[in-house]
Structure 1
Amino acid sequence: MARSDGTPITIGLSAAIVGLQKETPLILTVREDDRADCKDMLPFGPYDPLRHRTFELGLRAFVKAQAGLHIGHVEQLYTFGDRGRHARPDDEGDHVVSVGYLALSRGAAPDDEESAIALQRSGASFQPWYIYFPWEDWRAGRPKMLDSYLLPILQQWAGKDDESRGKRLKLAFALDDLTWDDERVLDRYELLYEAGLIEEAAADRGDAVVDAASERIDFSCSGRAMRFDHRRILATAISRLRAKLKYRPLVFELMGPEFTLTDLQKTVEALAGRHLHKQNFRRLVETNALVEPTGTTSARTGGRPAQLFRFRKEVLLERAAPGLRV
């Protein structure tokens, strides 16, 4: 496919593949090589319309080939095609337009030995997603880097514009006693990018854009960088997943067939990035009739045996929005 000026355009597929292990939400990443300065990327591949009838079939095929993983729930996020997202002004290669996807993988391991070998050869690995967005994890309280570093610079940056920056900052970062909205992951990332507090912004624009000569930008406070615009795609995926947990039972795509209510709560907390009140959470689960007891217990906690539950699939037929609006 080419534009009128002859510049070729390639359609790519990028996948934010979410797994979970030991109460840690994970994202599958790949690298071009083993160099220390090589940035993480989301798995991606070209769309071949001669081999794959749909984008989703193409996505599943290259994920299986690259990482040996079976993915469950898959949904399209957004089309990412900004100028410069892959190429530089003097590049003559194809302009890459990526169709981003959110995919869920139960566990964080390949399906079999052959798949495990494919994963190892590909250089792919699961990484905790909070290393890319450390300000999003509130399970142990308000992240310190917000008040000690990020917010002071953001407020200084916002004050040099009209009211629009200040309003966006107030909503995204819950200033002036607003409640933190866990779904605004992309909004927060975009503000940090615009203010030059994200390493990718410096790479894209040639320098940081905070116009304060005395300000030293410390990218270690703003998470691990990714290649191209892959961290923006990941922010979009986390925002979407956190929102859909509230009206779709997607959390069970990441659970085993049997689990305790504590397991379920810890999983929701890990994905939402915040601590939940135990009794309120259990009341919500019971009210929504999302689970049913298996009649067995688990003693792996070391204390009193905990009752095991499973997802009650009939809930999908009973109402339109069977989620966990916590």
Structure 2
Amino acid sequence: MTTALNAVEINLSAAIAAVANNDPLILTTSSSGQPERDELPFGPFNPLEHRTFETGLREWVAEQTPLQLGYVEQLYTFGDRGRHKTVEDRGLHVVSVGYLALTRISENGSEQLRKSGARWRNWYSFLPWEDWRGGKPAMIDEEIRPALQEWAEANALPSRLSRFRMAFGDENIAWDEERVLERYELLYEAGLIEEAIRDGRADRTPARCLPGLAMSFDHRRILATAISRLRAKLKYRPVVFELMPPAFTLTALQETVEAISGRHLHKQNFRRLVETTELVEPTGAEQIQARGRPAALYQFRHNVLEERSVAGLRVGNRS
């Protein structure tokens, strides 16, 4: 028997990623309650209408945006209480099933996208401490490290200090770009981001929060999970080509990998890596450039999936 005490609603949320102009993008819609607040496309799972969770997700995305999803994979199930306040006020406990989806941006669909109210946002506007392409973000040493140090030492809990060092690194521990979710959860627990204040987990004013746009519900948490998964998957599956056009230059491929990983990569080392993995092959065509010689165009070599089970760009962790 379902009562107000054990009623559960299952929400399906999509972190839809693309890359354009060397920046990683996430598709967001406007919150009905707070139009200025971004949220991921989402909707409830209806077991009478949706045969599977993924079927339901695709239907919600098609209803809220002009996109037809291609590559989709389930991320994680989020069931913590307190992160869906508006729904829980009705006595429901919300379970969010997050998905990662990859797509290419089409110029033809930009007008339809605008009319739908959806928009592409740079995902580093939500998680600015994750973008190391220009070197370590100043905010890590100027804001995050002192605040987390104070929080970790407040109750003399060694576990907090250890988590802080593992997540953000120090002189003995390298920054690991895959720990996106761990860093977000640590900042949430320390009360340094707006969602923690909204959920009643921290007693401070929004003005004292770290830079970075908040999202509705637990959607920034789902975004952090999606980035973690995609950064890790780059190294063992050729998912990056889901974001590339059919033909591309090696420079464009490198810039896409850099955008996702949040790291600057050495050009010659990257090209040697691409050659070693044999993930691409030349098309025989060239791209005319504004300056310099024309650049050779390449395409993904699909046969690689039949040749070996692990096929990715193992760029390694930052040292």
Q: So what's the TM-score if we normalise by structure 1?
A: 0.90
Within a 5 Å distance, the mapping from 1:186-265 to structure 2 comes to 186-205=181-200, 207-208=202-203, 218-219=208-209, 221-265=210-254
User: Aligned-pair distance for 1:24?
Assistant: 0.6
Q: Distance in 2 between matches of 1:96 and 1:111?
A: 36
For structure 1, the residue ranges without an aligned partner over 5 or more in a row are 210-214
User: Aligned-pair distance for 1:187?
Assistant: 0.6
- Equivalent of 2:90 in 92, 96, 106: 92
CA separation of 1:154 and 1:311: change in aligned 2, threshold 3 A: same
1:18 aligns with 2:17: yes
User: Aligned-pair distance for 1:222?
Assistant: 3.1
Q: Distance in 1 between matches of 2:195 and 2:76?
A: 20
User: Aligned-pair distance for 1:35?
Assistant: 5.3
Q: Distance in 1 between matches of 2:295 and 2:21?
A: 18
Q: Distance in 1 between matches of 2:276 and 2:81?
A: 48
Residue in structure 2 matched with residue 158 of structure 1 by the alignment: 152
Secondary structure (helix, strand or coil) at the match of 2:39 reads coil
CA separation of 1:88 and 1:299: change in aligned 2, threshold 3 A: closer
1:297 aligns with 2:295: no
CA separation of 1:259 and 1:88: change in aligned 2, threshold 3 A: closer
Within a 5 Å distance, the mapping from 1:114-153 to structure 2 comes to 116-117=111-112, 119-153=113-147
Asked if 1 retains the 8 angstrom alpha-carbon contact of 2:4 and 2:92, the reply is: no
CA separation of 1:46 and 1:35: change in aligned 2, threshold 3 A: closer
1:269 aligns with 2:258: yes
- Equivalent of 2:62 in 61, 64, 69: 64
> More displaced, 293-302 or 181-190?
293-302
Q: Distance in 1 between matches of 2:191 and 2:109?
A: 43
For structure 2, the residue ranges without an aligned partner over 5 or more in a row are none
Amino acid at match of 1:124: A
Secondary structure (helix, strand or coil) at the match of 1:126 reads strand
> More displaced, 306-315 or 77-86?
77-86
Amino acid at match of 2:39: M
User: Aligned-pair distance for 1:188?
Assistant: 0.6
Q: Distance in 2 between matches of 1:124 and 1:164?
A: 41
Amino acid at match of 1:257: P
For the aligned residue pairs, the C-alpha RMSD in angstroms reads 2.2
Q: Distance in 2 between matches of 1:226 and 1:90?
A: 17
Residue in structure 1 matched with residue 27 of structure 2 by the alignment: 28
Asked if 2 retains the 8 angstrom alpha-carbon contact of 1:16 and 1:234, the reply is: yes
Deviations 1:9-41 (A, max 9, x none): 2111000000111011000111134956x4211
- Equivalent of 1:83 in 81, 84, 89: 81
Secondary structure (helix, strand or coil) at the match of 2:104 reads coil
Secondary structure (helix, strand or coil) at the match of 2:260 reads helix
Deviations 1:144-198 (A, max 9, x none): 0111111111111111232101111111101133211000001111111111111
Equivalenced residues, count: 314
Deviations 1:79-129 (A, max 9, x none): 11211221369822432211110000112x47658xx43x33431111000
Secondary structure (helix, strand or coil) at the match of 1:266 reads helix
CA separation of 1:254 and 1:88: change in aligned 2, threshold 3 A: closer
1:104 aligns with 2:102: yes
CA separation of 1:15 and 1:294: change in aligned 2, threshold 3 A: same
Query: Alignment identity in percent?
Result: 58
Residue in structure 2 matched with residue 212 of structure 1 by the alignment: none
Residue in structure 2 matched with residue 73 of structure 1 by the alignment: 71
